[in-house]
């Protein structure tokens, strides 16, 4: 937040310190601006000491810090310094942001450069602004997501029951059992990390204090709160009736519920946005002492109360009535042909919002009542198809070389491991049409699954989910599986879902609207223009790839030779 009284001061300080050429990075504490400079000798120290904003200078030679004492209002001074001089709030990254005329009355030599850069990369339209925000939120966690997916894929291979109970590698071979236990520790913490990281990146994207994002994420995933997947209502019970909560308004009145936000990424995004606006609001408090006291309480405390009293109940009511609806729709002889395929088609968007966790109690309730559930099969179809949609997108844009590495690994994670977040947030949601194609494919596959009365037990929701299909429908349902059994029709439903998804991804990707959006996003992400790449002939493109490989090999050999040369000198 820019403070007008510091605009001239931060410009002067920037110039006195030597500008971009001399400033490595900077931070602040309770009273001081702490600069890491390349050359202290060029600093105009006399001018800084004579300024109205600085009460002194301290040189920390050991810590390599050039400290300027500002006072208790240093946080506002720091924010203004970043905004005016084009730094991100990390105090290191140089960004390009034009300052509006209402906030400033100056013109510096860097403004024209900033304006030109901003105009060149200007995001147009509300939709693209939203997508740009999503990109800022999820880009920092793309590679951790890839690692998460690959680790969970390996864990799934070791723990899947190949031919009944205790038939997994982990159950039959001691080494694999222990190794799977190690992987389980790694993978179980990733979901928690991603939830907290999303809160952090939202604060950073909104140019607020990221540490508050971490605190809010940690508080809302605390052990004292209960995950939706851990609530197991018995037959005749509702989720609302059994979910633990507080009884602030008297015994017997459970409100609010103790909902753990672990894995609920979209609700966490909205909560973090609310928290960021709380910080923006509290930053307007003029009294520095009051701001330092009220700010943290409002940002953390009020945001937590907003999450527990508003966001959590909305999610809980959604889950409760979804459970009631799904249980009725799953057994109605007519409605199930419409509702369940639609649920399958909507599963991908539910994963994006984090509300797919609301299906876990429903699956457990169905399994407790009938021994199997049809919804498990829908989850399997959706997860596999998300990976297929990502790979189809890579095929469609196969000349973007960097995309192959990212897209294929994320697609395989979804297909083999059932981990769709990397595919969803790096490709399918970002480019939109792969997500739509996946929903169409899953709808078609779900029709086959529902019509053939193919049920599955709870377990792997990946390609190994094929093993979860049951040969016959449970007797209590009164349904009869088509001739050939659940394995045959489960396999056919997977093939239908995947083939329709792949085809529709290619078809939708040719539509001008999606094609143009994809071009803009790939240009922004990888600095490669698919229109230009498509214009290159196959022969020329092969030569281009060959030259690229040769140059990389030459660079590798050069680095190796330099290392060997340095060793020989030593």
Which residues carry out catalysis?
Answer: 29
Rounded CA separation 445/439 (Å): 10
- The answer to whether the beta carbons of residues 426 and 145 sit under 8 Å apart is yes
Instruction: Write out the two tokens for 86.
Output: 């084009």
- The answer to whether the beta carbons of residues 226 and 260 sit under 8 Å apart is yes
| 66 φ, ψ (degrees, to nearest 5) | -100, 105
Closest CA to 80 of 59, 97, 66: 97
Rounded CA separation 445/377 (Å): 10
Q: What is the spatial order of strands in the sheet that 23-28 belongs to?
A: 23-28, 32-37, 65-69, 56-60
Rounded CA separation 282/184 (Å): 42
- The C-alpha angle with vertex 177 and arms to 172 and 182, in degrees rounded to 5, equals 170
Sort 475 into a burial class: Cβ within 10 Å, 0-12 / 13-18 / 19+. exposed
- Provide the 8-state DSSP code for 257: B
Rounded CA separation 384/188 (Å): 21
Rounded CA separation 434/386 (Å): 8
| SS3 (DSSP) at 499 | helix
- The answer to whether the beta carbons of residues 150 and 417 sit under 8 Å apart is yes
- The owner of tokens 């109970």 is 165
- In order of 153, 233, 466, 555, the CA distances from 490 in angstroms are 21, 28, 7, 50
Closest CA to 111 of 102, 101, 98, 120: 98
Instruction: Write out the two tokens for 75.
Output: 């946080």
Instruction: Write out the two tokens for 296.
Output: 């943290």
Rounded CA separation 365/237 (Å): 9
Instruction: Write out the two tokens for 425.
Output: 């947030």
């Amino acid at each position: 937040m820019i403070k007008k009284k510091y605009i001239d001061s931060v410009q002067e300080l920037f110039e006195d310190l030597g500008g971009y050429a001399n400033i490595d990075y900077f931070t602040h504490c309770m009273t001081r601006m702490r600069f890491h400079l390349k050359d202290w000798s060029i600093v105009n120290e006399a001018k800084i000491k004579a300024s109205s904003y600085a009460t002194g200078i301290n040189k920390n030679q050991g810590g390599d810090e050039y400290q300027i004492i500002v006072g208790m209002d240093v946080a506002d001074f720091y924010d203004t310094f970043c905004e005016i001089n084009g730094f991100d709030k990390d105090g290191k990254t140089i960004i390009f942001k034009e300052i509006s005329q209402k906030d400033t009355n100056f013109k510096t030599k860097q403004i024209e450069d900033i304006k030109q850069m901003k105009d060149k990369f200007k995001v147009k339209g509300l939709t693209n602004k939203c997508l740009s925000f999503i990109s800022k939120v999820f880009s920092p966690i793309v590679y951790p997501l890839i690692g998460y997916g690959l680790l969970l894929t390996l864990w799934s291979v070791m723990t899947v029951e190949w031919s009944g109970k205790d038939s997994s590698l982990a159950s039959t071979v001691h080494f694999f059992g222990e190794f799977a236990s190690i992987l389980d520790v790694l993978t179980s913490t990733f979901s928690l990390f991603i939830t907290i990281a999303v809160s952090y990146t939202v604060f950073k994207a909104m140019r607020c204090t990221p540490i508050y994002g971490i605190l809010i994420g940690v508080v809302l995933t605390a052990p004292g709160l209960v995950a939706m997947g851990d609530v197991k209502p018995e037959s005749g019970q509702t989720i609302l009736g059994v979910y633990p909560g507080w009884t602030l308004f008297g015994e017997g009145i459970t409100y609010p519920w103790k909902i753990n936000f672990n894995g609920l990424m979209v609700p966490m995004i909205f909560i973090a946005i609310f928290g960021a606006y709380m910080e923006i609001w509290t930053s307007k408090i003029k009294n520095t002492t009051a701001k330092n006291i009220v700010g943290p309480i409002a940002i953390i405390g009020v945001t937590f109360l907003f999450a527990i009293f508003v966001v959590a109940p909305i999610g809980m009511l959604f889950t409760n009535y979804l459970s009631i609806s799904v249980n009725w729709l799953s057994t109605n002889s007519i409605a199930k042909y419409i509702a369940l395929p639609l649920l399958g088609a909507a599963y991908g968007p539910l994963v994006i919002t984090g509300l797919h966790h609301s299906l876990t109690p429903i699956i457990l309730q169905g399994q407790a009542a009938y021994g199997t559930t049809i919804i498990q099969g829908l989850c399997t179809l959706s997860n596999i198809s998300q990976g297929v949609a990502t790979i189809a997108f890579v095929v469609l844009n196969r000349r973007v070389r960097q995309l192959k590495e990212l897209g294929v690994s994320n697609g395989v994670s979804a297909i083999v491991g059932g981990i769709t977040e990397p595919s969803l947030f790096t490709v399918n949601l970002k480019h939109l049409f792969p997500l739509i194609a996946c929903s169409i494919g899953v709808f078609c596959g779900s029709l086959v699954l529902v019509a053939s009365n193919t049920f599955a037990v709870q377990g792997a929701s990946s390609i190994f989910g094929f093993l979860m299909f049951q040969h016959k429908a449970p007797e209590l349902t009164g349904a009869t599986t088509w001739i050939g059994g659940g394995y045959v029709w489960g396999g056919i439903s997977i093939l239908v879902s995947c083939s329709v998804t792949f085809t529709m991804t290619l078809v939708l990707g040719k539509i001008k609207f999606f094609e143009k959006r994809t071009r803009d996003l790939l240009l922004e992400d990888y600095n490669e223009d698919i229109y230009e790449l498509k214009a290159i002939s196959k022969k020329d493109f092969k030569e281009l790839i060959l030259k690229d490989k040769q140059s990389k090999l030459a660079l590798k050999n050069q680095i190796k030779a330099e290392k060997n040369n340095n060793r020989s000198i030593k």
